[in-house]
Amino acid sequence: MILCCQRDSFKTEFTTKVKSCKEVAASIPVGGKKETIQAYEVLLEDSVLFPEGGGQPSDHGWIDEEEVLVIERRGEDVVHTMKKPFSVGQDVKQKVDWDLRFDRMQQHTGQHLITAIADKQFKYSTTSWWLGDKVCHIELESASGNVMTDAEMKDLERVVNEKIREATPISVNVYEEGDPHLTTVRTRGLPDGFKGPVRVVTITGVEDNMCCGTHLKHLGQLQAIKLLSVERGKARGGKPNRSFFLYFLAGGRVLSRLDESLQRESQLTALLKNSPADHVDLVDKLQKSYKQCSKNLQSVLRNVAVMEAEKFKVLEPKPKFYSLHRKEAEPDFMSVFLTEVGSQDTLFFLSVGDPNGSGNMILFGDSKILEKLGPIVCEILGGKGAGKGQRFQAKVSNLKRRPDAEAAIEQFLTTPVTDANEL
């Protein structure tokens, strides 16, 4: 059966009769998951709400102001899953979520146009396509396995937009199954068990395509197509993938993306205090300058580590335990310090990183002491680490508890050792 939404894809409201209404346990999508609820499957004599097909997702809409939870085609019928029941024979008014439908018609018709021109002029055939919430893509391949070049993509974009400017008409004709004309049109094959009349969508002078979806009336309603990028398909089962994905925006999405880009550009202009034409140069300079500053900082911190080691070396007598933290430093700081200090009887507790958050620490000293002390300090500072020889190092998540770790080390070192062999 050809549905009302297929006969007139620009119809937004439609009055029809309830054919049947059955109470069921229905699985409906809720926030990305499926939930089973008690609901009613309502069949109408006809429907202006489009069920999924031709790569186009099902509509969103209402029956008598009640939201339809799921719209799906089952054989000849469109099943509307509703929260409340309807009486058989009752007149009901369907309403289409028009903004969503029109966007999808633009993406869907855009895909028809890109697929047809990519095939006719560039010899890339379409194997599938995806209508995403933000961006759509078409999976294409060529006999040679080549991926579309940037120049071809620009050329394809130019040709499809030329067709849009010409406002080429789009028509839908219905043929009986077995009509010889059907052998001349593009198709990915009819669904298994398909019966009844076949719809052929014709973009005049561009293509004939078997499709059950909803389409624009002429290409002018597409407004524009922007081809975004090409990405080679990932290898499948160890075999190289010959296909590639062509990402595109059609219609209102071109303007929405432009709007987003302009907003981002104006935020960058405010941050960089420069004109958009200079953004790239300025960010490039900032990145280089940041790299240089970072290099300089590391160099200065290495010098600080050497000076900190000098400060320790002049201490007399040497303490049993020495603690040092540097918030700006990298782990390298601790290694430089230890190398400069050399072999000592002192136990060192060194750390770097956010004093209220995460960082790195090293305990350096007698390996037998570290075997016991390492895990204790790790637990206090919320970290994971390992020891080797005189060094126990760890990544820690809570440097705020550094004073507690210091106290624990002090206590450990001052507790009389009862079994000398143990340490």
Minimum CB separation from Zn ion for residue 56, in Å? 7
CA distance 239 to 244: 14
Q: Which of 9, 49, 54, 393 binds Zn ion (CB under 5 A)?
A: 54
Stretch that binds Zn ion, among 14-22, 50-58, 269-277, 280-288 (CB under 5 A): 50-58
User: Quick check: 105 binds Zn ion (CB under 5 A)?
Assistant: no
- Count of residues that bind Zn ion according to CB under 5 A: 3
User: Nearer Cβ to Zn ion, position 80 or 215?
Assistant: 215
User: Nearer Cβ to Zn ion, position 213 or 353?
Assistant: 213
Long-range Cβ contacts of 374-377 (<8 Å, 24+ apart): 376/408, 376/412, 377/349, 377/405, 377/408, 377/409
Q: In what order do the strands lie in the sheet with 170-175?
A: 170-175, 198-203, 207-210
User: Nearer Cβ to Zn ion, position 55 or 383?
Assistant: 55
Q: Which of residues 259-298 bind Zn ion (CB under 5 A)?
A: none
Whether 363 contacts 386, CB under 8 Å: no
Minimum CB separation from Zn ion for residue 59, in Å? 15
Paired tokens of 318: 């040497």
Whether 81 contacts 133, CB under 8 Å: no
Minimum CB separation from Zn ion for residue 108, in Å? 5
User: Quick check: 383 binds Zn ion (CB under 5 A)?
Assistant: no
Minimum CB separation from Zn ion for residue 105, in Å? 9
SS3 category, 339: helix
User: Nearer Cβ to Zn ion, position 138 or 211?
Assistant: 211
Q: How far is CA 234 from CA 78, 118, 239, 241, in A?
A: 37, 21, 9, 6
User: Nearer Cβ to Zn ion, position 71 or 336?
Assistant: 71
Q: Which of residues 192-251 bind Zn ion (CB under 5 A)?
A: 211, 213
Minimum CB separation from Zn ion for residue 188, in Å? 11
User: Nearer Cβ to Zn ion, position 110 or 213?
Assistant: 213
The vertex-168 CA angle with 165 and 174, nearest 5°, equals 155
Which uninterrupted H or E stretch holds 256? helix 252-272
Contact set with Zn ion (CB under 5 A): 54, 211, 213
